[in-house]
Amino acid sequence: MSDAAANGGARGVPARDGRPPVPGAAARDDTVAAVVRQWRAVHPGLDTGPMEIIGRINRCAALLQQAEDAPLRRAGLSRPEFDLLGALRRTGHELTPSELARETFSSGAAVTKRLKQLTERGLVDRRGDTRDRRVAHVRLTNAGRDLVDGILPEQLAYEKVVLSGLDTGQQAELAALLGELLGRLEGRPGAVRI
């Protein structure tokens, strides 16, 4: 159930399941709240707290990606192709396919396939290593750089609009919390392993 309904519509009143109310929950009734409400009806003793966080992260990610992929689709690019181009642009130098795989969290086979398509479109160049013919070095062409530089501002403008409902402090807090969670998931030193 939505936290507002669980709290009887009043702030500060414990939910019927005994959990404390979530700050600002009275106004929240999103898709995940409906899913949680359904699970609580089926399994009243189930702790749905993780679902309320992870479910919202996943839902936000899916919705953001749909909107952010629109400029990519107009340019005839997939998200993974743009990620490869973006990695080359932000690092500012040539990368090998294995380095691109690490930068984009992709498999070597997927990177090879994408690089073939991007090369055919004239967005990247590949050159062989002078010392090891098995190694290739990939760089952006001028067309590839121009494409990335044209799309990125549109994406950032959209993200700014999405986040405009949160004040600067809330944005900083959210960024810090998500950074902490990401660090744990990535297994950074000192992070809790899952």
> What are the pLDDT digits (tens) for 41-98?
999 999 999 999 999 999 999 998 888 888 888 889 999 999 999 999 999 999 999 9
Q: Are 144 and 85 in contact (CB under 8 A)?
A: yes
pTM of the model: 0.70
Residue 66, pLDDT score: 86
Quick one: how far is CA 151 from the chain centroid?
17
pLDDT classification of 20: cutoffs 50, 70, 90 = very low
Query: Between 13 and 104, where is the model more confident?
Result: 104
Domains in the chain: ranges and CATH: 1-74 (no CATH), 76-153 (1.10.10.10)
Q: How far apart are CA 35 and CA 28, in angstroms?
A: 13
Q: How far apart are CA 96 and CA 135, in angstroms?
A: 7
Query: Between 132 and 171, where is the model more confident?
Result: 171
Question: Residue 40: CB partners within 8 Å, gap ≥ 6?
Answer: 1, 17, 46, 48
Q: Calculate mean pLDDT across residues 10-23.
A: 39
Q: Calculate mean pLDDT across residues 106-134.
A: 90
> What ranges in 75-141 are assigned the alpha helix state H?
79-91, 97-104, 108-120
For residue 1, is pLDDT > 50? Answer: no
**34-43, long-range: CB < 8 A, 24+ apart:** 34/2, 36/1, 37/1, 37/2, 37/5, 40/1, 41/1
Q: Calculate mean pLDDT across residues 107-123.
A: 95
Tokens of 76: 């005839």
For residue 119, is pLDDT > 60? Answer: yes
Could you tell me which of 68, 84, 77 has the C-alpha nearest to residue 121? 77
For 145-189, the pLDDT digits (tens) are 999 999 999 888 888 998 999 999 999 999 999 999 999 988 865
Tokens of 173: 């807090």
